[in-house]
Chain A
């Protein structure tokens, strides 16, 4: 696994998200707590809503278009909705957000 530094944790608002653009699509990086981050595809499997614009709560995000809720640990849609988003390994080191390069260079085998 190789890690890519994409920015500082303070650049992502608490309970918010920022976008990472790549050649193979956009990744949303979520900050769920002071020092807790997740990464997943930005696109909702329902109608392609931009998940980085959703409301972040607990360890979940709600899609801004039609309120699908995804658990960022598993990527699974919650409640009655059926679907899954691809999640990517991401970690924090001294305030820097490190994203696994599989997210940037190829689609992970989900």
Chain B
């Protein structure tokens, strides 16, 4: 006698079960199929091509009415199942009961809707079924759509709508796109290609609220206050297995319905397949394992041997022009080695992860032709020992020659700007070389490239080498570190010229040989990016030395020193009391007066930092940045207020300068002083920038130091008004910020560019001075604020241990 089989859910997994059953044993079962959607099985993963207009719905239908009829399957479509009774072995549909001998649950999953305020407004949808797809297809040019979620599905939705001319913004909570499948470098390239398609991408963006008007979505509000207007809001942030029916029926469930290797649930007559199941602690969203499950379930129903085993998966994104591939495990686990290949000119990135001579993971972007070959090596666990050196070049290179590493400069397009001062691009230089300029001097003479500030010299030399080959002898230049062949100057120029605005962009476009740099290059690149792109680049604390990350100076015993700012060296009894109270309260062992005219509290425990800052903040005291490669202090004398020799208000000018400059980051520390007369009590002539007041105005001199070497400043200019003095100081600071090599004090930068160049930039060319000042002000609009107050408010818990077992009773 035929057994009665009931299947709940007509999706891709259960569809496959039915195919197997009816193909191999058409007479084994009387089948009833329930589906809540008023249709049969269609290929859900092809919804993106439907959205793109590459396919129609009819083309992605897997099983049409005729298919079910031929196989004698009783379809109850559009009918919800109210209950499963495992005791009586009956499924209760809305339109009547159906008894079963065997049951297959394939209820799939529900899209996760973030419970933001306003999530139930009209126009807030998921990307899950045909209805969602149709809503998205209703959008066209003139419409704005926000997609929350930068994973596979969210990006396919975004690309689909962008292809219809919709203005699409993707909001993603993580630091790079598709973080489960891609590493940062590949995520960066993907972001770049999507942006080329006109899609806006906001990373590290937290959604706060869905704003509406008349019951319909109007905009998405982020927690930083940004409002993204939209006509449609798509949430593509993941799925939740749909376990409600199974749970009510008393079956064992966790995140999904628990199944064993035969896809059997805790009831011996009930199977489950697809996105609703949990097997070995995992749930499933990709199609390959679902098909494996379907095959196993069908064989188990027919009482044949079969077992489901989880396999390594690979991912591809179905977006035209975004060629990416990811397989295996490319992030997890100790004992692993990376092989990285980057070809910036073609936008190619490949990374292989190797463990004990086996390939365990691969991420590729831009050129994924070898993806399936690598995937094969991963699945088969082939030993790659013999081909390790050439592995990354793919199967074609096995046994052949290795490719030369490509120079980042060779990869630059002709219109790439090499010399920013004189606006000379690579093509101009090559033209000059071809016309006979065969050394640096000749190129300089004919094109003016590197003839001004000189920071692009290394790049010009590389262009000479790339163009002339062995005919050009490259002078030995020091690369930043082992991660790159480029010098600091080269990297600075390329960051500006190529508009590289993230660390991942620098690593990729400039062919870094390590996945994410080292302790030498990371702080330098972080500085260059924030100096050149203050609005676009987000400072990375993890690329900073501990002092700048924790806003305090680490001491040899691991404690810290805390130095509150005293503007121009002026303080008040209230401030002094607050400092004294803090010293008492936090058992500060040493209190010292510094050379920069303020007070240092030495020996503060790392965990106490937020608390002591909070106390000092309450008295109006802010960070003195005594730890930063940035503005330290502006030392002053008492000037005309009290001194009988004072010629100008040196204290007042010092305070003004400190209030303008504080919080700014510079290549190395920056110390200023203002003396009220040439007796120079503030020692202005051994500072990075010194101002000496005279009867007729202000003498500004730069490039002093009193460290390992003692240097006297050189006169830059004399100006007659305080405002002009402030302007010149701002402009010279900005010029140093823009051109200086990381960890070069101002005098070293001055030695490279020359006083004549600086004078031309900030004294003679008044227009240029004004634009330097404007760029400094723009940067300061971000950085002129107290990091202590910010850390107290937002990061205090990071100063405490993540776990503390000393608080528990000792054994």
Contact = CB atoms under 8 A, between A and B. Distances in A.
Given A57-B517, A67-B519, A47 B804 contact: no
Given A21-B806, A55-B519, A69-B519, A16 B542 contact: yes
Given A15-B516, A55-B523, A73-B334, A104 B805 contact: yes
B26 to A, nearest CB: 43
B336 interface: yes
A36 to B, nearest CB: 5
B593 interface: no
Interface in A9-40: 11-16, 18-23, 26, 29, 33-36, 38
B542 A21 contact: no
A3 B543 CA distance: 31
B33 to A, nearest CB: 34
A7 B518 contact: no
Contact of A59 (B336, B519, B543, B606): B336
A46 B156 CA distance: 51
B803 A20 contact: yes
Given A36-B332, A55-B519, A69-B519, A23 B810 contact: yes
Contact of A58 (B338, B544, B810, B811): B338
Nearest to A33: B331
B556 A58 contact: no
Contacts of B802: 6-7, 11-12, 18-20, 29, 97
The main secondary structure of chain B at its interface with chain A is: loop
Contact of B516 (A26, A53, A57): A57
A45 to B, nearest CB: 15
Interface string B550-572: 10001011100000000000000
B83 to A, nearest CB: 31
B179 interface: yes
A18 B798 contact: yes
B596 to A, nearest CB: 23
Interface in B758-811: 797-798, 801-806, 810-811
Q: Could you say which of A4, A6, A92 has the most chain B C-beta atoms within 10 Å of its C-beta?
A: A6
Contacts of B549: 53
A38 B516 CA distance: 17
A22 B179 contact: no
Nearest to A61: B519
Nearest to B805: A22
B296 to A, nearest CB: 25
B175 interface: yes
Given A20-B804, A22-B805, A36-B332, A47 B556 contact: yes
Nearest to A67: B519
Nearest to A18: B802
B331 A21 contact: no
Contact of A35 (B332, B335, B798): B332
A85 interface: no
Nearest to B523: A55
B554 A56 contact: no
Interface residues of A, number: 46
A48 B558 CA distance: 8
B545 A55 contact: yes
B519 to A, nearest CB: 4
Contacts of A104: 805
B647 to A, nearest CB: 45
Interface string B177-202: 00100010000000000000000000
A69 B331 CA distance: 21
Interface in A55-88: 55-60, 62, 64-65, 67, 69, 72-73
Nearest to A93: B281
B519 A35 contact: no
A62 B514 contact: no
B111 interface: no
A25 to B, nearest CB: 10
Contacts of A47: 556
A13 B542 contact: yes
Given A14-B175, A18-B798, A69-B519, A59 B334 contact: yes
B522 interface: yes
Given A13-B798, A73-B335, A56 B803 contact: no
Contacts of A33: 183, 331
B338 A64 contact: no
B805 A20 contact: yes
B237 to A, nearest CB: 15
Contacts of B810: 23
A104 B798 CA distance: 20
Contact of A21 (B518, B523, B545, B801): B801
A41 B34 CA distance: 58
Contacts of B333: 36
B99 interface: no
B369 interface: no
B805 A21 contact: yes
B635 to A, nearest CB: 28
Interface in B478-518: 514-518
Interface in B509-542: 514-519, 522-523, 541-542
Interface string B281-311: 0000000000000000000000000000000
Contacts of B406: none
Given A50-B558, A53-B554, A72 B514 contact: no
Ranked nearest first, the 5 interchain pairs of A and B with the lowest CB-CB distance are A62-B519, A18-B802, A6-B803, A55-B519, A53-B546
Given A47-B556, A58-B514, 20 more contacts: A11-B802, A13-B542, A14-B542, A16-B541, A20-B802, A21-B803, A22-B806, A23-B810, A26-B801, A34-B174, A36-B332, A53-B550, A55-B518, A55-B542, A57-B514, A57-B516, A57-B517, A57-B518, A69-B518, A97-B802
Interface of B: 174-175, 179, 183, 331-336, 338, 514-519, 522-523, 541-546, 549-550, 554, 556-558, 606, 797-798, 801-806, 810-811
Interface of A: 4, 6-7, 11-16, 18-23, 26, 29, 33-36, 38, 47-50, 53-60, 62, 64-65, 67, 69, 72-73, 92, 97, 99, 104-105
29 contacts: A13-B798, A14-B542, A15-B516, A15-B543, A18-B798, A18-B801, A18-B802, A19-B801, A20-B805, A21-B801, A21-B803, A21-B806, A23-B810, A34-B174, A34-B183, A35-B332, A36-B331, A38-B334, A50-B546, A50-B554, A50-B558, A53-B549, A53-B558, A55-B543, A56-B542, A57-B522, A58-B338, A58-B516, A60-B518
